Amino acid sequence: MVDEQLNHDALNEHNRLRALHGCPPLKYDSRLAREAQAWADNLARMKIMKHSICDEYGENLATSQSTGKAELTGSRATQNWYNEIHDHNFDKQFQSQTGHFTQVIWKNTSKAGFGIQYSNDGHHVFVVGRYEPAGNVYGEFQENVPRPIHGQSTPKSKEFSYKPDEQNGPRRTCRDEIVIVRETDRRDNNGSNHITMVDSSKRNWPNGTTPNSNNERTIRTEKKSQRKCAKRCSIM
């Protein structure tokens, strides 16, 4: 079942942040929300971070783990994704460490839907965001990832409810799948430890292109089955 509160919070936060860059607001899409929810259900059942395989939409994932009840809201997940702006160079094309941020504000993306699910033990929670048209299209970053508009200031890292940690990025071709995460941790008032991670959004590279990135650390590597390298390739 689609979580209406999650979609409301995530969409509002996306649009608040997109407005800072002069990007049009996203519209809620019930189909994308249903599909995102179905994938969140799947991730929670398997307790893994893994992208779905489809070339028609963009996708951001986030998960939180806790020794107690895991916590993750739509606005919190969105803030984790957007916070990569502090590592982004607006003069460059795709940058492996900022793919979440660029999908969140991608100007040509017009609609989105979100899903959330908890593992059976409640210690893991997964949030899935799906976007159409998909962002992170190689060669189209300049026109779709604008700087903040004049007079607008972007939120500082300290304004979010977590401390930003090292961002790890992939080094791959379209047929290789690299799992990359950002981790932040905290302890709540009840003594439970919480770890929040976000994966990278889908990114789109031409054949034979390998993005360059510094400070990369591979958490897990998987091999995708041989298939045509489509315009929109998934990571994770």
Domain of 151: which CATH number?
Answer: 3.40.33.10
Q: Which is more confidently placed, 3 or 205?
A: 3
Residues 112, 105 contacting (CB under 8 angstroms)? no
pLDDT at 93: 86
CA dihedral for 61, 88, 170, 142, sign (positive or negative): positive
For 157-199, how does the pLDDT look when each residue is reduced to its tens digit (9 = 90+)?
A: 554 443 333 232 222 212 223 333 344 455 666 665 555 555 5
pLDDT at 216: 28
With cut-offs at 50, 70 and 90, classify the pLDDT of residue 221: very low
With cut-offs at 50, 70 and 90, classify the pLDDT of residue 55: confident
Task: Classify residue 232: in a domain, yes or no.
Answer: no
Domain that holds residue 137: 4-223
Task: Classify residue 91: in a domain, yes or no.
Answer: yes
Three-class SS state of 184: strand
Task: Classify residue 235: in a domain, yes or no.
Answer: no
Domain count, the chain: 1
Asked which of 42-46, 151-155, 201-205 is least confident by mean pLDDT, the reply is 201-205
Chain length of the chain? 236
How far is it, in rounded angstroms, from Cα 90 to Cα 85? 9
DSSP 135-146: --BTT-HHHHSP
pLDDT at 153: 60
How far is it, in rounded angstroms, from Cα 182 to Cα 167? 5
Mean per-residue pLDDT for 126-145? 96
Task: Classify residue 138: in a domain, yes or no.
Answer: yes
Residue 24 has pLDDT above 80, yes or no: yes
Task: Classify residue 200: in a domain, yes or no.
Answer: yes
pLDDT at 38: 98
pLDDT at 220: 28
Task: Classify residue 231: in a domain, yes or no.
Answer: no
The mean pLDDT value of the chain amounts to: 75
Beta-carbon contacts of residue 18 (< 8 Å; ≥ 6 apart): 24, 25, 26, 104, 105
In 3D space, the residue among 171, 167, 169, 166 whose CA is nearest the CA of residue 211 turns out to be 171
pLDDT at 155: 66
Task: Classify residue 228: in a domain, yes or no.
Answer: no
E strand or H helix at 112, and its extent? strand 111-118
Three-class SS state of 32: helix
